[in-house]
Amino acid sequence: MISFELGVEDLADTRFAVSPLHETVRSLRVLRDPGLYALHLPWRRSVLGSLDPPDAELLMSLVGRKLALPDFLTPRPATFAPTIEEGLSVVRQAPPQLVRRDLLAALVAGPVPEDDASAARFRDTVCDLLQRFWELAIEPAWPQMRLVLEADMTYRARQLAVGGARLLFADMHPNLRWHDGVLHIDKMVGRHRVAASGRGLLLMPSVFAHKPAPPVSPEEAPLLAYPSRGVATLWAPAPTPDPAALASLLGAPRAGLLVLLDEPLPTVELARRLRVTPSAVSQHLRVLYATGLVTRNRDGRQVLYRRSPLGEQLAEGASAGRRRAG
């Protein structure tokens, strides 16, 4: 069992964070032991089919025999949502002694470097590999992952606001127990008690966590990764676009304008193509511009309108729906 002693100030400093690096590292457990992660099996098959075997072997060797991960690979985020590059830059600064300590503590499957020089080389090699692994396996799905994680944080923040720490931890996981100012985490590799002592508690929902995961070392500040709600929706197929949905959302005149604006066009040309008055087109364009669906730029005496990236997504969805319907 690992326990966190949290005083009043620590509870006041409880915060959430989401980290691409943490999720990248935690996903290595799925590669190592797929039996615990049935929901991620399609993702795992796809990733292993794209990884070079030596890279896959090194990544899986970072996972301990009891699925612990070396703490130096998951540094405590200083901000709410650091980038993968910011996270890896911290890892690259980890002292070689710390690298060796954490690899030994996590009971990793692979060999542990014997001296500081080899530990530094190992650290840098792993950082380079994690960057490539992020780009291959996590980054394509990161927008959906982050939506799931942020939805969980919104729910947990409400639990904390309504019922305090007791309600916050009540349904997070059966292995968690809050009692008399102490958060107890059962079924852990380590057995120690950590006093937060003003450092607060950092909570990190994870789509790849199957149970609560604090740092392995008692010297680390209190941090708790825990299974996120809503993971079952992560790999659900996107709904098929309905060709009529864009018109239902925007109205037929504005939907027609948005479809036309795949190239920069002035108001007069749009009115000609739609066989309506320029004033009617201007009225609809004002609404589309105000909602961020179109952009505008001046070209001499004319103002040219074009779909924004958001408008592109809506228009492409409608076009895909029409192709399927045809």
Give yes or no: residues 157 and 286 share one domain.
Answer: no
Q: Is residue 84 a part of any domain in this protein?
A: yes
To the nearest whole number, what is the mean pLDDT of the chain?
Answer: 91
In-domain check, residue 239: no
Domain finish residue from 188, 209, 233: 233
Does one domain contain both 126 and 89? yes
pLDDT of residue 235: 82
Residue 238 in any domain: the answer is: no
> What percent of the chain clears pLDDT 90, i.e. is strictly above it?
76
Q: Which residue, 173, 199, 233, sits at the end of a domain?
A: 233
Nearest CA to 75 out of 204, 205, 226 is that of: 204
Predicted confidence at residue 190, as pLDDT, reads 82
Q: List the CATH number of the domain containing 277.
A: 1.10.10.10
pLDDT tens digits for 179-230? Answer: 999 999 998 888 999 999 999 999 999 999 999 999 999 999 999 999 999 9
| Residue 203 located in a structural domain | yes
Asked if the structure places residue 123 within a domain, the reply is yes
Q: What pLDDT, on a 0 to 100 scale, did the predictor assign at position 125? A: 98
CB atoms inside a 10 Å sphere around CB 102: 23
CA–CA separation, 307 vs 297, rounded Å? Answer: 12
- SS3 state at 190: coil
Residue 130 confidence (pLDDT) = 98
CA dihedral 138, 144, 149, 153 (to 10 degrees): 150
Domain contains 91: yes
Integer Cα distance of 112 and 132 in angstroms: 22
pTM of the model as a whole? 0.75
Domain that holds residue 25: 2-233
Asked if the structure places residue 54 within a domain, the reply is yes
- Give the three-class secondary structure for 262: coil
294 class by beta-carbon count within 10 Å (0-12 exposed, 13-18 middle, 19+ buried): buried
- Mind listing the pLDDT tens digit for each residue in 23-80? 999 999 999 999 888 899 999 999 999 999 999 999 999 999 999 999 999 999 999 9
Both 185 and 290 in a single domain? no
Q: Provide the pLDDT for residue 106.
A: 94
> Could you say which of 233, 264, 293 is where a domain stops?
233
Query: Distance between CA atoms of 56 and 33, rounded to whole angstroms?
Result: 13
Q: Number of structural domains, the chain?
A: 2
Indicate if 280 and 161 belong to the same structural domain.
no
Same domain, 109 and 250: no
Question: What pLDDT shows up at residue 123?
Answer: 98
Same domain, 208 and 311: no
